[in-house]
Amino acid sequence: MNSYYLTTILVLPLIGLIIIALLPKDRVKAIKYTALIFTLASFALSIVVFCLFDRSDGAIGRIQFEEKLPWIPAINCFYHLGVDGLSLPLVILMTFLGFLSVLVSWKIQLRPREYFIWLLLLETSILGVFCSLDLILFFLFWELELIPMYFLISIWGSGRKEYSSIKYVIYTLIGSAMMLAGILSVYFTTGSFGVMEVASKIAIAQPVIPLVAMFFLLFIGFAIKLPMFPFHTWLPDAHTDAPTAVSVILAGALLKMGGYGMIRLVVSVLPDVARQAAPILAALAIIGVLYGAWVTMRQTDLKRLIAYSSVSHMGYVLLGIFALTEISLTGAALQMFSHGIITGLLFAMVGLVYEKTHDRNLNNLGGLARQMPVIVVIFSIAGLASLGLPGTSGFAAEFITFVGCFTSTAFAGIQIYTILGVVGVVFTAGYILWMLQRVFYGPPLDKFNGVPDADNVEKICIFCFVAAILLVGIYPAILTNVIRLGIEPIMKVIGM
Amino acid sequence: MKMLIAELPFIAPELTVLFFALLVILLDLFVKQKKALAYVSIAGLIVSAGFTISLWGASPNSIFFGTLALDPFALFFKLLLAVAAGLVILASQDYVSKFDRFQGEYYALVLLSALGMMFLTAAADMISLYVALELSGISLYVLTTFLKDKKSTESGLKYLLLGAVASAVLLYGMAFVFGITGKTCLACAAGILESLPINSILQNPALLMGIILLIAGFGFKIASFPFQMWVPDVYEGAPTPVTAYLSVASKAAGFAVITRVMLVLFGQPTWLSADWGMIIAVLSAITMTAGNVAALFQSNIKRLFGYSSIAQAGYLMVGLATVGMASTDAFAGRSGLIFFLMSYVVTNLGAFFAIIAITNKVNSDEINDFTGMIKRAPLLALALSFCLISLIGLPPTGGLIAKIYIFSGAVKVGLLWLVIVAVVNSVISAFYYLRVVKTMWVGAPTSEEKVPSSAALRVALGLCCVLVFLLGVIPGGFVGIAEAAAKIFNP
Amino acid sequence: MPHQIPWIILGLPFLSLIIIAFILRPFFNHRPRISGYVTITAIGIAFMLSIWVLIEVMSTPQLKLEIPSLHWLTIGEFEFSVGLLVDALTAVMLVVVTSVSLMVQIYSQGYMAGDTGYHRYYAFMSLFTGCMLGLVTGSSLLMVFLFWEGVGLGSYLLIGFWFHRPSAADAAKKAFIVTRFGDLGFLAAILLIFANTHTFDIEHIHELVLAGTLGGTVLTWAALGIFMGAMGKSAQFPLHTWLPDAMEGPTPVSALIHAATMVAAGVFLVARTYPMFEHAPAALTTVAIIGAVTAIFAASMGLVMNDIKRVLAYSTISQLGYMMLGLGTGGVAIGIFHLFNHAFFKALLFLGAGSVNHGTGTFDMRLMGGLRKVMPWTFATFLIGSLSLAGIWPFSGFWSKDEIVVSAMQNPVLFILAMITVFMTAFYMFRAIFMTFGGKYRGGAPSEHGHSSHESHGPHESAKVMVIPLVLLAIPSVISGWLNVTGLFSAFMGHGEVKHSFLEGFFGVLTHPKPLIALAIAILGILLAYAMYGAKWISAEAVGRIFKPIYILFSRKYFLDELYENVIVRAVLLNSIFRGLAWFDARVVDGAVNGVAQGTGAASRAIRQAQTGQLQIYAMTIILGIVAIAICVFIFG
Amino acid sequence: MTVGLVHYLVLSAILFSLGLYGVLAKRNAVIILMCVEIMLNAVNIALVAFSRYVTPLALTGHVFAIFVIAVAAAEAAVGIAIIITIYRNHKTISVDKFDLTKW
Amino acid sequence: MVFDIVFWILAIISIAAALAVIFLRDVFRAALALILLFLVIAGIYITLHADFLAVVQILVYVGAISILLIVGIMLTRDVHKGNPSGKFRIPAIIVGILLVITLTFTAINTKWTISDKPPVEKTPEIIGQMLFAEGGFLLPVEITAILLLTAVLGAIVLIREK
């Protein structure tokens, strides 16, 4: 049963990391290419896994590419990897972003060796979160991700980078601290650290603490990561001050850890509590959507703007999760992926604009469409995808989520919430178009004369993004057929 | 007498250390190359460790008429102490070589204190316990004062006087226990206590005071609130290697002895152990909070580690409280405690070794002088960061596993509230640990010149970091050891 | 006929888009005309095929083609599939869209000649046409919505085609957001319907409606939601404000998107889902009322505009209102018939306006005049269009407008409104004619895109490539109305059957009173226009002075833009609520976080103050600790 | 009433507290050291008293006391040594002057 | 009965001596008071039938420790400063009182298991047995030896100039 695909995917970046560490500081080119090769290899391998993935109905709820070795026998916790329909897309997403983030940071000047080391470590840790099926292992990777993030933001960041980085770490740690308590209480309730076992065992076991307490202990960590209103304020700071590639990964993959965890460890483990808590959490989700959008409208820093838009968009994920229907959960899962690539691209584009113009302030930018024709096109595509235009992944995801929520019977009045969510889409259109207009339209400004357009590396990178966005947008089934396998068993547990 | 001779092999580790201590003093008289002394002492510790391991199989029992216990618990701690002392000596060389006199005495005192702690961890009788405690104590007082400069002497005096008060208190507690039971041997006293016709601690104030006074006495050694205030001051003043030694060895020994005493003496009946378990739990919560919060804006690295070691003591006390809550359990809490100590010892030593090397160069304990250290001493800075990360409890280090392990025990016995306090505390701790890390990684170095470090120190540092890493990545084996070592001789 | 044909029709424009975007733009950037040819060919073929489809549909008894739908995705037991629904309605729309689009593309060859964004222009045009075709052929609400948004995008891109003009960028944004606002209703309706029927398939939904399983308030709300979408796209009051601004786009764009096709999509949507409205009378009434109000409301503003394109824009809005009125009172056939006619003559008028602009370099009618002689073709065709729009017998507009008026008669109020609108329409169209082509030339101005500065020497007739489409469009503007003289069109729409012979209907209509009234009123309007702007018997200024408040009200568009943009968006939302929230986020939500941090910091300093370095204090704490613990245990233990 | 265990205990308690007061209140380090000795003696009294009244036959208490005395001697020796060293550095032995290390 | 009277006398003297140690202005007098205290405590030991211990007390404390302390006083030449109280007098008193209350409370409220057997005479033999014979505290004795050695070593290290 042990096929070592996943381990390889996990380890490839580490190998690259070690090689880079051994390379001399000044061999920048070699360092970059090493990073590129290993992330690409990891991506390729994850695609292989995606292709080999068994999509038949027989595979519903079955863990595939499972690897299980004893790790700490004393507290029967294992080195247990595996993917199912829920995690596989996120693994793809991460390897994809990991590969592209190397391209995004191709021009990095400051201490490149350390930079790529941290970047690769970051990729491994996030992949680990999505792959691990043992709570302790999961938690380990969950925490591991903090270290590279801290260094990447506080060394290569901009602005109040030290404040933002420590804020990010502390905030996330608070969440994961609670989560640890939750995980332990789950363990002593069920006697198992197996992500897949606990769901079935917890129903029959005698809980050591009230299930509600357990629920919120687990939930809070993911809620902060997601981020759920009102725990979102770390996000704008972290995004604004992080280097581009890190913003890409942060928005693209890190936030998804929250949504993933919620589905995997909260909803499917404690469905009854989830059902009780659904109204409140859905309300918070909607607040997140609208509030995020409205606050976004006032932002003038491009990165900050997109960061707040993430708050708004992740609100849909939360809504989808706690509508507790199969469609809504699928929508949420799809929205995670779609938001991953869209916002990833948006940040990449902001990075480009910033790199060319050395300005991120909407009040100073303008008329760039003439100077950077390619960037304007791609940026617009990203923006339109983000506002949920049909044909882009954004539409598919949000539409499915809406359908799921609207048809949900989780609690009275969810239809109202859904409509409010739909209203949010208009505001999204508002700030996205406003942003595009501020940055690119209007008469060209002399101060930006001669700013270059995207070069080839950047073009490759952003075209990959666009391809992904359109692919998923036009044929979402490519993912939903996989996600289904992960969601349906959860629906059996929830029983709605 | 014959029997006595027959039992000598059982204290072979201690005897070895004693022998080498004396040997070092003698060699000091006519050895010019003082570094040799260090290696002699290390050799002694290695031999002693060897004996300890060879004794591992020995059936748990008490030797020397119940004054000394021979059980995995004691043996493990002897091993741990030997390792700690060895590493400290290894790392002390640069530092000590600055003294023009008394280098031999320095190593000898380290060995003697280690000897005292070894006895301490094995003491099964209040008398031998008290004497061993004083042995380790006195040698540590001297070591603290070793620099004989303003700060060092001040710390020495503080340590001595407060230590004396603490031991008087401890003694009073023992007196009470003795008064109730009429025995000084822990196990026998425990036997009497169980047979006492009381079902509430309030019916027997002497017993209560005994427990409290013992907790206070040992609490001083393990730096538990409210007996911890000496720690930052003494840590700041003492020679850095001694600070390292204090922060790991004396703490480890302290935990060993308090665990043994509490468990053996007050382990039964269970309501009793639950009572003191709760006392410890509350103290632990306060201790870690006090330590962490106080450390937040600390600018002197040694003081920072003083506070940090208080906080870590708090986490360790979670394990101790667990022991109290489940005194009948085979190794609940104890194994966690032991594993945490393993990780803590190597981590803290590693951190201190890096600090020793750096402070030796920059001649300052101020954190600000660590700025840009990653450029001046990449390896040292990296290692220090790694150890700090382990102290926070982030992967891939022993710190995380240790916390998970020790907290899981607490959750099991229903101390979830304490665990939550503890995890929130480790969040707070992240702030000041990361501040040090940030200082070293971000910002331009004050001067360009590299920070040198002797091969010995680098070896010690490397060993620690590797151990921290292994503890974090393949903890399985170590957990096995911890559980094996959790067996306390308990008739 | 192979059922791939509709798919091919749908695919062709996208094909040309891809060709332009990935082959021509990168590799043939210096040969812009090619992309024009590509687009024209693609749409030309599409047009042919559409004709074929139309014939096929007519020849089939149930007036629709069976086309297997494609499976898009499945979640649980829910199937999301996309397919084509080709019935009479679709067939007609296909022809309208492809034909007008074809004309416009040809015309653009001349109009856009030399513009830097030539490739981009045709790419966007293809994109739009494709989406429009998808919209009219979609068989499921889902697919309709997909392309519904798609045309919105096309419109956005093309309005903002000259993005370097702030006004254009603003207009584009406005158009997108306002229509998006309407789409909320549409999307909500889709969700509502799906929640109740678990299907998106339009025909299936209709069956359920007829079966009565979908009805009551749900149906009403659903219908209203759909209509809200339609209001957005078809610029119905009060969501009409974006359309006049949309004139910032190149004129051919206005002709295609904002006159003939996209803005008609709303009408089409209502027609498409008509059974739902039929079973939701309240909704249907709403449609009628909104339609009537919009008609007169927009017409009134059209009276005073000086920008020829804006006149046409308001007339478009008003005509769309008419169509809605027709749908609301008469039924699919009537509404769509007007749409059908309107598409041609309004496209014609816009292209005419564009041609005028090409000649004079301005859209401001006050700077034109006397073009009758210099631009004969333009004048002739423009006149035909205007007559048709004014509803003069026997031009096409007459026939459809007549039917609407007749059907509106069931409600006197609506009828009065309709009549007034007829009058106004006739008036402002001929006001435009007289100001533009009558009198003598009043100088012109630099054209809307800089390259045509060489044309500043006096007005002139436009190039063949622009005139030919005008002529081609003029023909249907005359005759397209005759299709329903015999009731053929209605019958085709499944509404009544062929009543009487052609001639009988053609002249017989003049014997009935109602059409005559309408006709009379229209002619009155024309005469008044002549009186004021042709012969100058009455001074327009004088009239303006007399009715100053009204004049201002009209010319300032009832201050709706101010209300929307300055009051609601800026004052209320951006500067009050959103600013407040931003403050709240920074100060309160984040403030709480930082507050906790600062609190801990304070605690830290306090604790460290206790660490005085006085060893006696330390000793004291030890003893106090012991005593305290003892007391605590005695109290709590 | 005849003197019993409790009397001795109370006496030791009083002496212990007096010694403690000395430690807490006096400035002179040597005096403080003396007071520590007083505390130890107080404990010894308790030990011996226990030995007399609880286990009259086994003299464990006495033995314990002997050890305490021995240790006390050692402590005093080191204590004095440290005090002398500190006097060399600070030129004073009043403990309230020693706050170089604080906060 | 005799013992009782002796006890009361000794108790009062010892407390007085302790107070003297604390409150005498002159350090030397304080030291002398301390010696007196030690002697009195030896007496108390005798009332407890611990004659051998009394001897040890006199030898070690009066003979050794007191001298040591006095030497300390000489060497630190702070005599003229006298024996002042620190700034923590009041809190110290409070703490002291609290402690004495607690301990007394404990002593009184505990049901000690008093055995009515008469105390053994000839303590030296038995103590000798316990210290050095089988089943005794030989090991602690050894450790104490090391302890004293350590103390000497430490003292030397500290006293001798750098």
Q: Are B47 and B16 in contact (CB under 8 A)?
A: yes
Angle between helix C88-111 and C118-137 (nearest 10): 170
Q: With the CA atoms of A353, A358, A362 and A367 taken in that order, what torsion angle do they form, in degrees rounded to the nearest 10?
A: -60
Q: In this structure, what DSSP letter does residue C556 have?
A: T
Tell me, what's the pLDDT at C363? 81
Tell me, what's the pLDDT at C275? 87
Is D25 within 8 Å of E89 when comparing Cβ atoms?
yes
- Which of C22, C25, C73 to probe by mutation at the A interface, max A CB count within 10 Å? C73
Q: Are C121 and C159 in contact (CB under 8 A)?
A: no
Q: Find the range with the poorest average confidence among A160-169, B18-27, C576-585.
A: C576-585
Q: Are E38 and E54 in contact (CB under 8 A)?
A: no
Question: CA nearest C610 in B: which residue?
Answer: B229
Tell me, what's the pLDDT at C454? 45
| Cα–Cα distance list, C72 to A58, A163, B216, D80 (Å) | 22, 47, 73, 91
d(CA C324, CA C289): 9
Is D43 within 8 Å of B157 when comparing Cβ atoms?
no
Residue in the structure block whose two tokens are 């902001």: A350
Is B229 within 8 Å of C617 when comparing Cβ atoms?
yes
Is E99 within 8 Å of C617 when comparing Cβ atoms?
no
Taking contacts as CB-CB distances below 8 angstroms, the residues of chain C near E102 are: 626-627, 630
Tell me, what's the pLDDT at D1? 61
Question: CA nearest D90 in B: which residue?
Answer: B150
Taking contacts as CB-CB distances below 8 angstroms, the residues of chain B near C631 are: none
Chains D and A touch (3+ CB pairs under 8 A): no
Tell me, what's the pLDDT at C445? 59
> What is the percent of chain D with per-residue pLDDT over 70, rounded to a whole number?
99
Angle between helix C4-19 and C118-137 (nearest 10): 160
What are the pLDDT digits (tens) for C589-629? 888 888 998 999 999 999 888 888 888 999 999 999 999 99
Q: In this structure, what DSSP letter does residue C393 have?
A: T
Does pLDDT of C19 surpass 80? yes
Count how many pairs of residues, chain D against chain E, have C-beta atoms within 8 Å.
250
* Interchain contact E103–C (C-beta under 8 A): no
* Interchain contact B378–A (C-beta under 8 A): no
* Interchain contact B423–A (C-beta under 8 A): yes
Tell me, what's the pLDDT at C436? 82
What are the pLDDT digits (tens) for C352-391? 888 888 877 778 777 777 788 888 888 888 888 888 888 8
Which secondary-structure segment (H or E) carries B16? helix B12-30
What are the pLDDT digits (tens) for B230-262? 999 999 999 999 999 999 999 999 999 999 999
Tell me, what's the pLDDT at B270? 82
Q: Are A369 and A357 in contact (CB under 8 A)?
A: no
Q: Find the range with the poorest average confidence among A123-127, C333-337, C443-447.
A: C443-447
Does pLDDT of B478 surpass 70? yes
Q: Which of C242, C249, C35, C39 is nearest to C158 (CA)?
A: C249
- Give me the residue from E106, E143, E153 closest to B205, CB to CB: E106
Round the average pLDDT of chain C to a whole number and report it: 84
Residue type, C582: A
Taking contacts as CB-CB distances below 8 angstroms, the residues of chain E near D96 are: 86-87
| Cα–Cα distance list, B395 to B400, C487, D102, E25, E55 (Å) | 6, 81, 33, 61, 62
Does pLDDT of C447 surpass 50? no
Using DSSP, state whether A69 is helix, strand or coil: strand
B173 versus C511: the higher-pLDDT residue is B173
Tell me, what's the pLDDT at A401? 92
Taking contacts as CB-CB distances below 8 angstroms, the residues of chain B near C599 are: none
Q: In this structure, what DSSP letter does residue C82 have?
A: E
Taking contacts as CB-CB distances below 8 angstroms, the residues of chain C near B283 are: 629
Rounded mean pLDDT, A362-368:
85
d(CA B210, CA B473): 42
Q: Which of B121, B5, B16, B134 is nearest to B71 (CA)?
A: B121
Residue in the structure block whose two tokens are 């903002």: C160
Report A:472-491 residues touching C (Cβ under 8 A).
475-477, 480-481, 484, 488, 491
Surface-to-core class of residue A383, CB atoms within 10 Å of its CB (0-12 exposed, 13-18 middle, 19+ buried) = buried
Q: In this structure, what DSSP letter does residue B413 have?
A: T
Q: Beta-strand (E) ranges in E14-72?
A: none
Surface-to-core class of residue D91, CB atoms within 10 Å of its CB (0-12 exposed, 13-18 middle, 19+ buried) = exposed
At C311, list the tokens: 């006149």
Tell me, what's the pLDDT at B354? 92
Surface-to-core class of residue A52, CB atoms within 10 Å of its CB (0-12 exposed, 13-18 middle, 19+ buried) = exposed
Tell me, what's the pLDDT at C452? 45
Beta bridge partners of B300: B366
Residue in the structure block whose two tokens are 């021009």: A107
Tell me, what's the pLDDT at C84? 85
Is E143 within 8 Å of B145 when comparing Cβ atoms?
no
ipTM value > 0.85? yes
Does pLDDT of A373 surpass 90? no
Question: CA nearest E135 in B: which residue?
Answer: B65
Which secondary-structure segment (H or E) carries A145? none
* Interchain contact D95–C (C-beta under 8 A): yes
Encode B94-133: b = buried (16+ Cβ within 10 Å), e = exposed.
bbbeebeebbbbbbbbbbbbbbbbbbbbbbbbbbbbbbbb
Using DSSP, state whether C311 is helix, strand or coil: helix
Q: How many Å lie between the alpha carbon of E101 and the closest alpha carbon of chain B?
A: 12
Q: Which of B52, B24, B253, B229 is nearest to B134 (CA)?
A: B253
Of the pLDDT bands very low, low, confident and very high (cuts 50, 70, 90), residue C62 is: confident
| Cα–Cα distance list, B480 to A72, A75, B476 (Å) | 9, 10, 6
At B267, list the tokens: 């382990």
Q: Are B161 and D32 in contact (CB under 8 A)?
A: yes
At C489, list the tokens: 């069109």
Q: How many Å lie between the alpha carbon of B2 and the closest alpha carbon of chain A?
A: 43
Tell me, what's the pLDDT at C1? 66
Taking contacts as CB-CB distances below 8 angstroms, the residues of chain E near B127 are: 137, 140
Is A390 within 8 Å of C582 when comparing Cβ atoms?
no
Rounded mean pLDDT, A104-129:
91
What are the pLDDT digits (tens) for A302-343? 899 999 999 999 999 999 999 988 889 999 999 999 999 999
- Which of E94, E102, E106 to probe by mutation at the C interface, max C CB count within 10 Å? E102
Q: Are A151 and A118 in contact (CB under 8 A)?
A: yes
d(CA A438, CA A435): 5
Q: How many Å lie between the alpha carbon of E87 and the closest alpha carbon of chain C?
A: 10
Tell me, what's the pLDDT at B1? 60
At A252, list the tokens: 């693209």
Is D103 within 8 Å of C608 when comparing Cβ atoms?
yes
Rounded mean pLDDT, E21-33:
88
Does pLDDT of C224 surpass 50? yes
Taking contacts as CB-CB distances below 8 angstroms, the residues of chain D near E160 are: none
What pTM, to 2 d.p., does this model score?
0.91
Q: In terms of DSSP bridges, do strands C64-65 and C86-87 run parallel, antiparallel, or are they unpaired?
A: antiparallel
Does pLDDT of B3 surpass 90? no
What are the pLDDT digits (tens) for D34-55? 999 999 999 999 999 999 898 8
Tell me, what's the pLDDT at E33? 92
Rounded mean pLDDT, A72-99:
89
Q: In this structure, what DSSP letter does residue B452 have?
A: P
- Give me the residue from C608, C613, C619 closest to D101, CB to CB: C613
Tell me, what's the pLDDT at C455? 46
Q: Dihedral sign, CA of B345, B347, B353, B358?
A: negative
Q: How many CA atoms lie within 13 A of E35 on its CB side?
A: 15
Does pLDDT of C510 surpass 80? no
At C581, list the tokens: 């929230």
d(CA B406, CA B392): 15
Is D23 within 8 Å of B138 when comparing Cβ atoms?
no
Q: Find the range with the poorest average confidence among A84-93, A164-173, C425-434.
A: C425-434
Question: CA nearest B7 in E: which residue?
Answer: E139
What are the pLDDT digits (tens) for B120-133? 999 989 999 999 99
d(CA B490, CA B71): 9
Question: CA nearest B135 in E: which residue?
Answer: E147
Round the average pLDDT of chain B to a whole number and report it: 89
Rounded mean pLDDT, D14-22:
93
Does pLDDT of A34 surpass 90? yes
Q: With the CA atoms of A167, A170, A171 and A177 taken in that order, what torsion angle do they form, in degrees rounded to the nearest 10?
A: 180
Does pLDDT of A423 surpass 80? yes
Does pLDDT of D17 surpass 90? yes
Chain E residues in contact with chain B using a Cβ-Cβ cutoff of 8 Å = 102-103, 105-107, 109-113, 134-140, 143-144, 146-147, 150-151, 153-154, 156-158, 160, 162
C77 versus C266: the higher-pLDDT residue is C266
Tell me, what's the pLDDT at B78? 93
Beta bridge partners of C65: C86
Peptide bond into A210 cis (omega under 30): no
Which secondary-structure segment (H or E) carries B482? helix B475-485
Q: Which of A181, A234, A444 is nearest to C116 (CA)?
A: A444
d(CA B67, CA E140): 8
Rounded mean pLDDT, E6-31:
90
Tell me, what's the pLDDT at D4? 85
Rounded mean pLDDT, B44-66:
85
